[in-house]
Structure 1
Amino acid sequence: MKFGVLVFPGSNCDHDAYHAIKHIHNIETTFIWHKEKELGDVDAVIVPGGFSYGDYLRSGAIARFSPVMNEVVAFAESGGPVLGVCNGFQILLEARLLPGTMMANEQLRFTCKFVHLRCENRQTPFTNAIPDDTILNIPVAHGEGNYFAENDLLKELEDNNQIVFRYCDQRGNISHDSNPNGSAANIAGICNRKGNVVGMMPHPERAVETRLGSDHGKLIFDSAISHLSSV
Structure 2
Amino acid sequence: MKRGFCTCLRSRVIQFLIQSAQLLEVSPMVKYSALSLFADRFYPALSRLEYGKGTENWLLHPIGESNLQLFALVSLWVTSKMHDTPPLSVKNLKSLGDKFIKEQHYTMGDLLEAEIVLMQVLEFGIGTSNITFVLIEELLVQLKLVARVGKRVKFEACMDVMDLLYENEKTSVLYSSPQALAASIVVVVYVVTVPLQRWEFPVLPWGKKTTNVDPTCLIIQVIILDLDQTC
TM bucket, shorter chain: under 0.3
TM-score (norm 1): 0.27
More helix by share: 2
TM-score (norm 2): 0.27
Q: Which structure: larger Rg?
A: 2
